């Protein structure tokens, strides 16, 4: 019988696991992918994320997690009218596989048991505990007083749980955004120390972006309709060629991913019974897919609520909700800011 089973070894799950384990709680952290697991992501740690790493993990992000250029100087938005907005701030450029792997290692050092290539299939709350069905080469079960679901946007465990608690949680994010990005050798007339976001509706159905990682030019678009990826990606490449003299000599790889479609009000599902949600599966995601800081903060708040009210799940869930009010307010302000820049996000204003 574990005290807490944490599902998902991203920033939310690793932060929660470390916080719980270092206080002596028996923690099992399961990750469905082989670690270090990869996630399609900008890999930019904003200043807030860097500060949270110091606060929760007690040290700086290691160089082994970084890529070049190491320094990120901020974000440059181009709105739907072609006007630029510059947001200067300190940041770091990392590979998510290395960064998340380091976080999981710190959780393990603190005493958490970490298992990769293990999928959480379902869970059932029983009398005073939760039974979780897991799968690696075999199907088996583990039990815990709490489950903290940090599995990300797909949320398969959350959808299964929704069947047990109809009406109390959404069960799934109301719509997805598909992201598509390529890594390329080539050249461009842009400062590689910034992350660039383009909000013109002719370039994507959500946003398009550019950044540099280890001298590779990363170009991406996000769409609501997957069949339109080729159309928008082609238009974005043509735009970058015309505006910034993009020249691609070779594409090294491409990838697709999903992120939740955050809607007006920024709904958050905190959990039900002995199961809590943190990170993207809960609904915590900042504009342009910046989910690292929100994942870490929500994971830590969930862990603290569990520790404070371990014998009272109902109070623990409410305490978790209250402790993340500032985080949700921050998220809403960020979305409102983007809503004021482009018609695509006007409902968020």
| pLDDT for residue 163 | 73
Q: For 169-291, where are the alpha helices, taking DSSP H only?
A: 229-244
Residues of the chain above pLDDT 90, percent: 87
Q: Is 16 exposed, middle or buried (0-12, 13-18, 19+ CB in 10 A)?
A: buried
pTM value is 0.95
Distance of alpha carbon 84 from alpha carbon 272, whole angstroms: 43
| pLDDT for residue 75 | 96
Lowest mean pLDDT among 73-77, 147-151, 162-166: 162-166
Average per-residue pLDDT in the chain?
94
pLDDT digits (tens, 9 = 90+) for 270-321: 999 999 999 999 999 999 889 999 999 999 999 999 999 999 999 999 999 9
| pLDDT for residue 173 | 46
pLDDT at 233 exceeding the cut of 60: yes
Q: What mean pLDDT is predicted for residues 197-204?
A: 97
| pLDDT for residue 153 | 85
Among all chains, which residue has been given the structure tokens 């697709």?
256
Q: What mean pLDDT is predicted for residues 256-260?
A: 91
pLDDT at 21 exceeding the cut of 70: yes
Of 302, 285, 278, 274, the closest CA to residue 8 belongs to 278
Of 277, 56, 266, 337, the closest CA to residue 154 belongs to 277
| pLDDT for residue 306 | 98
pLDDT at 151 exceeding the cut of 80: yes
Lowest mean pLDDT among 73-77, 79-83, 166-170, 187-191: 166-170
Contacts 24+ apart (CB under 8 A), 47-55: 47/89, 47/90, 47/91, 48/293, 49/292, 49/293, 49/296, 50/90, 50/91, 50/92, 52/15, 52/293, 52/296, 52/297, 52/300, 53/296
């Amino acid at each position: 019988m574990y005290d807490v089973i944490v599902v998902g070894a991203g920033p939310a799950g690793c932060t929660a696991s470390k916080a719980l384990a270092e206080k002596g709680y028996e923690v099992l952290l399961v990750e469905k992918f082989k670690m270090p697991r990869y996630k399609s992501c900008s890999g930019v740690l904003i200043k807030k994320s860097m500060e949270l790493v110091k606060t929760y993990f007690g040290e700086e992000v290691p160089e082994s997690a970084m890529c070049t250029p190491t320094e990120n100087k901020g974000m440059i938005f181009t709105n739907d009218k072609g006007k630029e907005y510059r947001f200067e701030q300190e940041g770091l450029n990392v590979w998510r596989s290395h960064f998340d792997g380091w976080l999981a290692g710190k959780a393990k050092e603190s005493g958490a048991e970490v298992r990769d290539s293990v999928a959480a299939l379902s869970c059932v709350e029983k009398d005073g505990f939760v039974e979780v069905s897991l799968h690696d080469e075999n199907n088996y079960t583990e039990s815990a007083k709490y489950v903290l679901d940090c599995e990300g946007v797909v949320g398969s465990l959350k959808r299964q749980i929704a069947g047990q608690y109809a009406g109390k949680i959404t069960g799934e994010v109301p719509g997805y955004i598909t992201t598509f990005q390529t890594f390329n050798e080539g050249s461009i007339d842009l400062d590689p120390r910034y992350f660039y976001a383009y909000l013109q509706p002719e370039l994507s159905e959500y946003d398009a972006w550019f950044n540099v990682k280890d001298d590779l030019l990363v170009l991406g678009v996000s769409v609501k309709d997957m069949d339109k990826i080729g159309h928008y990606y082609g238009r974005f490449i043509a735009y970058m060629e015309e505006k910034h003299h993009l020249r691609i000599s070779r594409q090294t790889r491409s990838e697709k991913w999903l992120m939740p479609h955050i809607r007006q009000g920024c709904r958050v599902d905190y959990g039900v019974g002995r199961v809590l949600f943190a990170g993207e599966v809960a609904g915590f995601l900042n504009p342009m897919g910046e989910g690292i800081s929100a994942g870490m903060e929500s994971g830590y708040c969930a862990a603290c609520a569990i520790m404070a009210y371990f014998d009272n799940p109902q109070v623990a869930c409410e305490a978790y909700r209250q402790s993340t009010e500032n985080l949700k307010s921050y998220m809403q302000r960020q979305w409102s800011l983007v809503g004021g820049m482009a018609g695509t996000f006007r409902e968020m204003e």
